[in-house]
Amino acid sequence: MMTCSAGERTNGFNLNHEKRRQAMEDQVVSTQQHMPLSQDSLEKETTTLNLGPTHPATHGVFQNVLEMDGERVVSAEPTVGYIHRAFEKIAERRPFYQVTPLTDRLNYCSSPINNMGWHLTVEKLLGIETPKRVDYMRIIIMELARISDHLICNSVVGVDSGAYSGFLYVMQYRELIYEIYEEICGSRLTTNIGRVGGFERNFNDTVYQKLDRFLREYPDVLKEFENLFNRNRIFIDRTVGVGRITPERALNYGFTRPNLRATGVDYDVRVATPYSSYQDLEFSVPVGSTGDSYDRFLVRNEEMWQSLSMIRQALALMKKEPSDIYHAQVPKYYLPEKADVYTKMEALIWHFKIVMGETDIPPGEVYHSVEGANGELGFYLISDGGRAAYRLHFRRPCFIYYQAYPELIKNALLSDAVVCMSSLNLIAGEMDA
Amino acid sequence: MALTNENITQRLTEKFGEDLSEVEEPYGLLTFSAPKLLNLKVLQFLYDDPELRFQFLTDLTAVHYPDRKGAELAVVYLLHNMRDNIRIRFKVYTDIREPDVFSATALFASANWMERETFDFFGVRFVGHPNLKRILNVDEMDYFPLRKEYPLEDQTRVDKDDDMFGRGTDKWFQP
């Protein structure tokens, strides 16, 4: 670098021509020492850019080391694992009812779906049949979770492409959904809803009131949200053709749900292998055609309409069932209500047996998957008859489809890479388990 | 004609005969295993066969069975035929001292990270993987944490034991 003494600096402008030339030459030489590039490669010079681990656009803790040629991405290398919490190992020491809080922390934008997925897996292992009313209650919770997840994801696509107002506008309805969770289970983000066999308590009146309010008000909000984006010239320019993938590549990369459906493949776990009485409902599976960020956005929006209709149907079906049933009659596995444990002997006995691990767990190997908010969320559970799982593996959808990211953003602009990332609905908690 | 577990078993037996073992259907999901040297052949056959068409790799993981001497690690593939909507589970067993298994990355792009994860936690070396390094744990780690010889809790503790979990204390870990 050019160095000059204090005396010279005061006369900086009076440096004679020879001195200035010398200084410039020094600078060129030293730059070359720092970046050894061949003389003719100045035009092709690439820059390494760290997108993450704590970058506002990643919306979570993961890193992309991008090799940039100006504004264009030449290659990308994702690095994940910053918040790995060893859930699979921890689950090998925990009884089944203590695994639910771990599942909360996978995709924390839609924890109830993860909770239900886990309960359904254990019920499949134990062979528990749940009453229809429990199934419908679960559908309501899961579809609410799906709406809250999709509205976050879609509004964040808006934020990353420069439209903040949509995000703020729908956020109050996520708040309403969280209030409904709160009425049902007492918590908001990491919900830990339900138990093996059903729910810990029945829906109270406030739940129905808030659900009614949600079903009444949210369609208008969603309509307005769509008006803001769907035909918005700026939004279309920012998302159409960004992060495009063909159906063949998407399947090869293990894409599921909106990301796969945006390419035109109509795979839906709720239709293919119905669980929790989804077969009783009428709904359609929206698909896109081009597999780009815009199609992913539209598919998610349409999913929200479908979820709203599913909640309405499930509520109507629920009314036909006896209103005091909220869990299956399986005292051996269903943790009884705490008030009963203190006052009733039967409940106390079963509570003791379950907590001390004296109920029989059949050995077996079971895979169960639910339609998570961003992909097929699978639970591979191996039981050896012990109290905890012998091995539990989570099929975490975004861990699997995020590998496609370097391919999706190759030769794209940096700003498109950001939009593409948010339109994939990546959740760091799920990726790192 | 819809594909059933019987059809699949029949097709596989025709092709691989004696090499197919442990054919069972826990909870309706066809499960079978084959020698580890054949894993790519089996996967390729399942992928290419016009009837079977298992072209979607849903999940890939491993399980550690310390009691099975010479076949301690099981690599588990969960495959899905989306057209006929049927899943199968395919396992290969490998010796923990030579945990080399052929990589399926050429067939499924999604296998890349799943194999890295399996390597990271179980130490299964996938031969032919383009970039086999740790993914979730730190690079400096020198053990494979999901193996059963690493119990979750500090072994020096005496106030807790594994009996409550239906398994004897220190069954796999003799200090």
Q: What is the pLDDT of residues A197-244, one digit of tens each?
A: 888 888 889 999 999 999 999 999 999 999 888 888 888 988 888 888
Residue A165 lies inside a defined structural domain of this protein: yes
Q: Are B87 and A367 within 8 A, CB to CB? A: yes
Instruction: Specify the fold of B5-148.
Output: Beta Polymerase; domain 2 (3.30.460)
Question: Cβ(B92)–Cβ(B101) under 8 Å?
Answer: yes
Query: Closest to B29 (Cβ–Cβ): which among A80, A267, A367?
Result: A367
Which chain B residues are closer than 8 Å to A391 by Cβ?
A: 63-64
Which chain A residues are closer than 8 Å to B121 by Cβ?
A: 88
Q: Are A86 and B78 within 8 A, CB to CB? A: no
pLDDT score of A399 more than 50: yes
Query: Biggest alpha carbon distance in chain A?
Result: 100
Burial class (CB in 10 A: 0-12, 13-18, 19+), A343: exposed
Tell me how many residue pairs between chain A and chain B have CB atoms under 8 A apart.
Answer: 105
Distance between the two ends of chain A, CA-based, in angstroms?
Answer: 47
Confidence bin at A427 (pLDDT 50/70/90): confident
pLDDT score of A265 more than 80: yes
Q: How many domains does chain A have?
A: 2
A34-41 average pLDDT score: 53
Tokens 């080399």 correspond to what residue? B100
Give the list of residues 6+ apart from residue B38 with CB closer than 8 angstroms, or none.
B16, B19, B92
A238 and A128 in a common domain: yes
Question: How far, in Å, CA of A227 to CA of A252, rounded?
Answer: 34
Confidence bin at A13 (pLDDT 50/70/90): very low
Name the DSSP letter for residue A12: G
User: What is the overall mean pLDDT for chain A?
Assistant: 84
Angle of CA points B47, B53, B56, to nearest 5°: 70
Tokens for B54, please give them: 């298992």
Tokens for A256, please give them: 């599921």
A160 and A17 in a common domain: no
Question: Cβ(B106)–Cβ(B128) under 8 Å?
Answer: yes
Greater confidence, A30 or A256?
A256
A268 and A205 in a common domain: yes
Show contacts of B131-136: CB within 8 Å, 24+ apart.
B132/B103, B134/A81, B135/A80, B135/A81, B136/A80, B136/A81, B136/A84, B136/A432, B136/A433
Confidence bin at A2 (pLDDT 50/70/90): very low
Predicted TM-score (pTM) of the model is 0.85
Q: Supply the pLDDT for residue B167.
A: 52
Residue A70 lies inside a defined structural domain of this protein: no
| Count of C-beta atoms within a 10 Å radius of residue A313 | 18
A143 and A9 in a common domain: no
A159 and A107 in a common domain: yes
Tokens for A219, please give them: 């369609």
Question: Cβ(A211)–Cβ(A111) under 8 Å?
Answer: no
Question: How far, in Å, CA of A49 to CA of A46, rounded?
Answer: 10
**pLDDT tens digits for range B89-114:** 999 999 988 889 999 998 898 899 99
Sorted by where each begins, the domain ranges of chain B are 5-148
Strands B125-127 and B100-102: parallel
**pLDDT of chain B, 175 residues: tens digit per residue:** 578 888 888 888 888 888 888 888 888 888 989 888 888 888 898 888 888 888 899 999 999 998 888 888 999 999 998 888 889 999 999 998 888 999 999 889 889 999 999 999 998 999 988 888 888 888 888 888 888 888 776 555 556 555 665 555 555 554 4
Greater confidence, A80 or A30?
A80
**pLDDT tens digits for range A97-145:** 888 999 988 888 889 999 999 999 999 999 888 999 999 999 999 999 9
A272 and A140 in a common domain: yes
Q: Which domain holds residue A258?
A: 79-432
List the beta strands (DSSP E) in A336-428: 364-371, 376-383, 391-395
Confidence bin at A33 (pLDDT 50/70/90): very low
A241 and A316 in a common domain: yes
Angle of CA points A383, A384, A385, to nearest 5°: 95
Which chain A residues are closer than 8 Å to B171 by Cβ?
A: none
Confidence bin at A56 (pLDDT 50/70/90): confident
A343 and A413 in a common domain: yes
A37 and A103 in a common domain: no
Q: Are B117 and A253 within 8 A, CB to CB? A: no
A415 and A338 in a common domain: yes
